[in-house]
A and B are shown apart, each in its own frame.
Chain A
């Protein structure tokens, strides 16, 4: 049951992301990305991390995507650009990358037993927060400093001159 759900959700995630990067219109790309975030959140839920799933929906699919949408609407970027189709010789880095990835997957598939996911136990919000603010408390502080200075830098660079 879980395995079937997982495969459906991963297919949705992959297709959603693929559509997001190929969509010509920015607004459509965002809607595709939100879809893929939602199914990613459900995958986290299946892995026994309901809190991460909730964060994925609230922060990524909710706050950040709304912000993107807001900027696109405000700056009126909704019109698709006329793109010329890439020439054949521009394709080789992508092809090379694809070959490397496909090769790795092939080697993994041939040489190994299929990996089984270890059993996950759901953790509570209390355990999660204790791990976050005790074990990773220093990391949280560093990230908050970094975000503060992201704000400072953005304000400075956006200042009217």
Chain B
């Protein structure tokens, strides 16, 4: 590995080095300094990716390259990791989650996410996405005091292991059919087309699990509910964007087969309809957000379905926007939760008045998820439906728009709870004071939501460069 290689893949090295440093130095340092080391390292990885020129950065390492796509994805992943670390420090202290393992595992997740963004062959891509899932099995079950946390971790592990096996089988069939692991060379010769399309079918099933598309979505609500709120924030952003990026890399480089159109169509349709309808019935805010994430992944699948450059750029844009929205929503939930998780919707009654800042962030996140202008959520949905109609998926786009309109009901219900309801009987417990780290994280997420919504041209320019 030469110096130029090391410079080009520096985000990966920073994340890996920091994860090991945190593990080694953990016993000697205070929890606060560990958290700050982790936050600085995670942010540094993202800043490096923004600053380092993607053009001309040729890497001689087999399987890795720093491309325009990595330059877009790594900052998104790094922002998710940084905000998760900021949110989780005080949350973990309140909940009695001790040890440097949390920070180290978050940095390991970031490492795997950066590898995924830089991957150029199927093997590295598979290892990266599995490392991401692997890290989340640990993170989800990290709250030893709560039984639901361990239960969620076990459910996720069992389902994830099956999905990993299916993806691995699919990739091996694609390899058997095309004879290469490289993303660029993997097109199907006529003679082996059945094998390759069987491989694609299995990969689609595996990705449906990772993106939690209907009918592979059943794990999502339980895992989101059981996971600690900052982990749920990271899980719903990092792992979902990673899975979408995984699929996008496969589709964009290796000329997708016509056969996968129908399965993807049904997956997208089911997720948009069932995700939004099931979210209407939820009483727990984390379960509601889980179903909402199923629906949002349905929109992403719709954009992937078009197979056009516009569709792919809509996927990436929505991935970035979704990261900001969900970090704000779960971040506000984490910050409003004390020793007990604030799960039930009724526990949020009147919090817009007793905790104005965090209430406002939660309300903003809900408006953005509902897709109301001028938030970024509107812009993201607009690009997806625009790309879908341009790509000839008019029916599905109309269904998507209708379900998005229905979804406004349950998002706005949270806003109504926050501001317009009087508590029935005993008022919900007043939240503790917000800490500076949490406020910083929530402010960053909120600024991102508003900034992208009002002034999107910088991010669109980066996107344009990423897909060239």
Contacts and interface: CB of A to CB of B under 8 A. Distances in A.
Do the two chains belong together in a single complex?
Answer: yes
Contacts of B111: 145
Interface string A127-161: 00000001111110011011001101101110101
A157 B144 contact: yes
Given A136-B123, A156-B101, A142 B138 contact: no
B54 to A, nearest CB: 19
Interface string B137-170: 1100110110000100000000000000000000
Chain A interface: which size bin? 10 to 19
Contacts of A157: 138, 141, 144, 150
A20 to B, nearest CB: 17
B144 A159 contact: yes
Interface string B189-230: 000000000000000000000000000000000000000000
Contacts of A153: 101, 105, 137-138
Interface string B1-39: 000000000000000100100010000000000000000
Nearest to B137: A153
A142 B135 contact: no
Interface in A92-140: 134-139
Interface residues of B, number: 30
Contact of A152 (B62, B124, B131, B138): B138
Contacts of A139: 63, 123-124, 127
Interface in A9-43: none
B130 A146 contact: yes
Contacts of B386: none
A156 B92 CA distance: 15
B62 A135 contact: yes
B134 A149 contact: yes
Contacts of B42: none
B131 A156 contact: no
Interface in B56-105: 61-64, 99, 101, 104-105
B115 interface: yes
Given A137-B62, A138-B62, A156 B138 contact: yes
B67 to A, nearest CB: 16
- If over half of A's interface residues share one DSSP class (helix, strand or loop), that class is named, otherwise mixed; here it is helix
Contact of A156 (B16, B19, B142): B142
Contacts of A142: 112, 115, 124, 127-128, 131
Given A136-B62, A138-B63, A139-B127, A161 B134 contact: no
A152 B104 contact: yes
Contacts of B124: 138-139, 142
Interface in B307-364: none
A156 B108 CA distance: 15
B134 A150 contact: yes
A97 to B, nearest CB: 13
B138 A146 contact: no
Given A152-B101, A156-B142, A161-B144, A146 B127 contact: yes
A152 B24 CA distance: 12
A152 B16 CA distance: 14
Contacts of B130: 146
B459 to A, nearest CB: 29
B111 to A, nearest CB: 7
B64 A152 contact: no
A153 B135 CA distance: 8
A149 B61 contact: no
A149 B108 contact: yes
A149 B422 CA distance: 47
B138 A149 contact: yes
B104 A146 contact: no
B21 to A, nearest CB: 13
A150 B23 CA distance: 13
A93 to B, nearest CB: 13
Contacts of A136: 62-63, 123
Interface string A80-99: 00000000000000000000
A136 to B, nearest CB: 7
Contact of B131 (A134, A138, A145, A159): A145
27 contacts: A134-B62, A135-B62, A136-B123, A137-B61, A138-B61, A139-B63, A139-B123, A139-B127, A142-B112, A142-B115, A142-B128, A142-B131, A143-B127, A145-B16, A145-B112, A146-B112, A146-B127, A146-B130, A146-B131, A149-B104, A149-B108, A149-B134, A152-B104, A153-B138, A155-B101, A156-B99, A157-B144
Given A142-B128, A146-B112, 6 more contacts: A136-B63, A142-B127, A149-B131, A149-B134, A157-B138, A159-B144
Interface of A: 134-139, 142-143, 145-146, 149-150, 152-153, 155-157, 159, 161
